Chains A and B, each alone.
Chain A
Amino acid sequence: MYQDNRQLAIRGVIAGIFTLTAIVGFALYRQSNTYAPVHSNTTTANPVITDPEILQNWLPDTVYQYTVARISDYLVANNLYASSLSARDRIVNGSGAYDFAVTLLPQNQTLDVSVSVNNLQGIMSTAVTIDGTLQQQLIQTVTNDGTSTGSSTTYTGLDGLIEHGITTTEISELQSLLQKYAPASTSIDISPNTIQASYDQDTGTMSYTFVVTINTSQYVAVFDAISTTQARLRIRDATTSQQLYDSGTVTVPAAP
């Protein structure tokens, strides 16, 4: 009797181990998808745009940034938070404006956005209407040579990167890419104690990894300065390590 019970218990344990391994294996399988949809586990008023190129196909860069900033403002003003934001369908070259819709995920809520661009003698101004409400009065945003006329973001901690050998041209590119990720940001703080620099001789890439706080949210950023002519910025959620942004490789403008 005792022997039977013992064998039964052993078999039960074996079945349990197999079952547990199957469950863990399957869970790991589901989790290990490199190309899982881009999203953050946390919702924010500054969600990552999963397909920015759809909008950038029609909108000049600074108009795009201004539009994203107004969408972010709208989310804050209406207590709407999302993990990601996606352009829906294509831009319609409407009457007096570029019309398109964006979808907030995961709630699948749609915002109708209209962007009016006023170009007078090469100087562009932008007005953004969301769900029929003008978000802000026309303001000057950029001249046709690409010079921005207004930036309200305060940067701190850039000195730490300079101490690690980053050039001023690369700093400008880093700021530009951070601004692209978070155009509505009011403060961007790089934590000097977290900066780690490494050099890859094969590719000529200097990589700077650091913790960056954008407004109140903390992220881990990796900035690659590639052969002094190209750069790439990747941003991860500091808590979940989920990748939120990848600029791709961009060309760094030559120093004046």
Chain B
Amino acid sequence: MLLNIGIGIAALLCAWSVFLYLAGYGTATIGMLPARAVVRVNGNLTTAKTLRLRPGTYTLLVTSPLTDPYQSTFHVSVLAATRINPSLQRRSPDAIASSVVGGIGPTEPVALQHAQWFDGDTWVVGFTLPANAPLALHYDTTQGKWSVAYSTAAGYPSDKTKLPAEISNYITQLETTYVPG
């Protein structure tokens, strides 16, 4: 009798494990991603918008050249559908400037003061301390990269006439208002 019960339990466990192996997935759909977003789930890169996942808790990391890194965890249950809408924030101007120029002078991290965005957030312009030097950064949508479009520091483009008029005007405004002399 006991053995029969054991066989029954073992058969149920067997059926359950086979079911889990074959169909034990949930789905997670990631919405609202910017262009060139890099998505990592538990550290694995993925390009799929809808993920078929084993039940459990996962970490999600979304980065892009235009947004601050977004990190969160989400839970997936068997046969359940989860939708994740990352609340992506515009990328910090300080981070953009830092990732392009690294530093200002000897070991001074970059902080972009009075930063203003232009042209669909593909330009950010401000001035850097301590010299109050204007800095214009441009995002090349083709290359997917930020670069220095204008800086008074040696080694960088410094021709304002090559900039779009609104960028050039804002730099002039910064220079008039904040640059000493």
CB interface residues, A 32-52, toward B, < 8 Å: 32-39, 50-51
B69 A90 Cβ-Cβ under 8 A: yes
- On whether A50 and B99 interact (CB within 8 A), knowing A14-B7, A57-B69, the answer reads no
B153 CB → nearest A CB, Å: 7
Residue of A nearest to B5 (CB): A15
Q: Which of A112-120, A158-166, A175-183, A208-216 is the interface stretch?
A: A112-120
User: Main secondary structure on chain A at its contact with chain B?
Assistant: mixed
Once bound together, how far apart are the Cα atoms of A40 and B106, in whole Å? 39
Residues of the A chain whose Cβ atoms lie less than 8 Å from the Cβ of B18: 21, 25
B154 in the interface (beta carbon within 8 A): yes
A-B contact count, CB below 8 Å?
Answer: 165
Q: Interface residue count for A (Cβ, 8 Å)?
A: 60
Chain B window 36-60, contacts with chain A (Cβ cutoff 8 Å), 1 for yes, 0 for no:
0010111111100001111010100
Residue of A nearest to B3 (CB): A11
A31 CB → nearest B CB, Å: 10
A12 in the interface (beta carbon within 8 A): yes
B44 A119 Cβ-Cβ under 8 A: no
CB interface residues, B 19-39, toward A, < 8 Å: 20-21, 24, 38
B63 CB → nearest A CB, Å: 4
Once bound together, how far apart are the Cα atoms of A28 and B21, in whole Å? 7
Once bound together, how far apart are the Cα atoms of A39 and B44, in whole Å? 10
Once bound together, how far apart are the Cα atoms of A145 and B144, in whole Å? 16
Residues of the B chain whose Cβ atoms lie less than 8 Å from the Cβ of A98: 98, 109
Q: Which of the four size classes fits the interface of chain B?
A: 35 or more
Once bound together, how far apart are the Cα atoms of A15 and B4, in whole Å? 8
CB interface residues, B 93-110, toward A, < 8 Å: 94-95, 98-110
B10 A57 Cβ-Cβ under 8 A: no
- On whether A121 and B154 interact (CB within 8 A), knowing A35-B42, A251-B143, the answer reads yes
Residues of the B chain whose Cβ atoms lie less than 8 Å from the Cβ of A56: 63, 99
Residue of B nearest to A144 (CB): B155
A184 in the interface (beta carbon within 8 A): no
B3 A12 Cβ-Cβ under 8 A: yes
- On whether A25 and B14 interact (CB within 8 A), knowing A8-B3, A57-B95, A59-B102, the answer reads yes
Chain A window 74-109, contacts with chain B (Cβ cutoff 8 Å), 1 for yes, 0 for no:
000000000010100011011011100000000000
Residues of the A chain whose Cβ atoms lie less than 8 Å from the Cβ of B131: none
Having A18-B7, A25-B17, A57-B95, one finds 14 other A-B pairs with CB under 8 Å, namely A14-B10, A18-B10, A25-B14, A25-B20, A26-B21, A36-B42, A38-B44, A51-B61, A57-B68, A59-B102, A60-B98, A96-B109, A117-B109, A121-B153
Give the interface of A toward B (CB within 8 A). Answer: 8, 11-12, 14-16, 18-19, 21-26, 28-29, 32-39, 50-51, 53-54, 56-60, 63, 84, 86, 90-91, 93-94, 96-98, 116-124, 126-127, 143-144, 243, 246, 248, 251
